[in-house]
């Protein structure tokens, strides 16, 4: 595996916090160059110049962190392109600064609360896909909500993502913990499952249609080939 391939793998662990999809799958990585000496330059692009600076900052900073964790790389530069606040974001990210330092006087705090809000939404959406698949395969609500973490399929990317999100949210992922939980970690009760799914489906529709619109806008902006609708 080349260094560049490992860098791209690392970038594949960076998620758009709002859409809960890797920035590589979203085609937000416009270029990735590795010099013979191991210096890395990653360029990021977004669907519009007006995309929210907070999410843009998180993706750029996360990308830099993810690549810097690789032992074989030397200097890492992440450049956000064609964005209305690219100068501010690039300056702060290149120095490893926090969000508030990118926009002095314009923000009251950091982005942890925002990130957690979207991690909770993502967990709801991801779990609902797993639950619906189980129900479609004939499981009863009682059987679905009785599932433990150990019962989640290892080969399912959605289930794996649920566990990552639980880690990030501080929700236990011990083998005997409930597989499907509310954002505070409490198990979903069998009697509540249908109602919970109704709400979860709306959250998922929002995330997915937002992702669909972002993909369409990116395609228009950079003249990319059309992509299939996913998950709809």
Partner 1 sequence: MYEKDGEKYFVVDGHVHFWDASPENWVKGQEKYAKGWIECFHAYQGLGPAETHWTIEKFQKYSEEDFVSDVFDAGYVDVGIFNPTYLKEWYTEGFNTTERNARLAEKHPDRLIVNGRWDPREGEAGLRRLEEDARRYNLKGVKLYTAEWRDGSRGWSLKDPEAAPFLEKCLELGIVNVHVHKGPTIWPLDKDAFDVRDVDYAATTYPELNFIVEHVGLPRIEDFCFMATQEPNVYAGLAVAIGGLMHARPRFFSKVMGELLFWVGEDKLLFGSDYAIWEPKWQVEGFVDWNYPDEEYSDYPAVTTASKKKMLGLNAARLYGIEVPRELRLPDEAGTPAARDDAQLVEGAA
Find out whether 131 and 193 touch, Cβ atoms under 8 Å: yes
Distances from the Cα of 147 to the Cα of 103, 122, 132, 181, angstroms: 45, 20, 13, 11
224 binds partner 1 (CB under 8 A): no
171 binds partner 1 (CB under 8 A): no
For partner 1, which residue of 49, 97, 101, 172 counts as binding (CB under 8 A)? 49
In residues, how long is the chain?
232
Other C-beta atoms closer than 10 Å to the C-beta of 1 total 7
Closest contact distance (angstroms) between CB of 204 and partner 1 is 9
Scanning 12-71, the segments in alpha helix (DSSP H) are 53-68
For partner 1, which residue of 3, 25, 52, 163 counts as binding (CB under 8 A)? 52
Q: Which stretch binds partner 1 (CB under 8 A): 6-14, 23-31, 66-74, 205-213?
A: 205-213
For partner 1, which residue of 33, 106, 151, 175 counts as binding (CB under 8 A)? 106
Q: Which stretch binds partner 1 (CB under 8 A): 59-67, 73-81, 104-112, 156-164?
A: 104-112
**Cβ-count burial of 34 within 10 angstroms (0-12 exposed, 13-18 middle, 19+ buried)?**
buried
Positive or negative, the Cα torsion across 214, 219, 220, 222? Answer: positive
- SS3 at position 43: strand
Residues 108-127 that bind partner 1 (CB under 8 A): 108-111, 113-114, 117, 121
Residues that bind partner 1 (CB under 8 A): 18, 47-54, 84-85, 99-100, 103, 106-111, 113-114, 117, 121, 199, 201-203, 205-206, 208-210, 212-213, 216-217, 220-221, 229, 232
């Amino acid at each position: 595996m080349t260094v560049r391939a490992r860098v791209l793998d690392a970038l594949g662990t960076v998620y758009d916090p709002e859409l809960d999809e890797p920035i590589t799958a979203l085609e937000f990585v416009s270029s990735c160059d590795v010099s013979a000496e191991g210096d890395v330059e990653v360029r990021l692009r977004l669907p519009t110049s007006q995309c929210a600076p907070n999410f843009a900052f998180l993706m750029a900073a996360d990308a830099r962190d993810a690549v810097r964790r690789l032992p074989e790389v030397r200097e890492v530069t992440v450049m956000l392109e064609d964005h209305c606040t690219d100068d501010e974001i690039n300056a702060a990210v290149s120095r490893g600064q926090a969000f508030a330092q990118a926009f002095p006087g314009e923000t009251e705090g950091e982005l942890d609360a925002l990130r957690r809000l979207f991690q909770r939404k993502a967990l709801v959406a991801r779990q609902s896909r797993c639950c619906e698949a189980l129900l479609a395969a004939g499981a009863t609500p009682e059987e679905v909500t009785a599932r433990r973490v150990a019962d989640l399929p290892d080969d399912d990317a959605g289930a794996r993502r649920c566990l990552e999100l639980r880690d990030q949210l501080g929700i236990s992922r011990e083998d005997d913990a409930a597989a499907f939980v509310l954002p505070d970690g409490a198990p979903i009760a069998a009697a509540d499952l249908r109602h919970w799914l109704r709400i979860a489906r709306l959250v998922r529709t929002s995330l997915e249609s937002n992702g669909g619109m972002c993909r369409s806008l990116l395609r228009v902006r950079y003249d990319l080939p059309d992509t299939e609708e996913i998950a709809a």
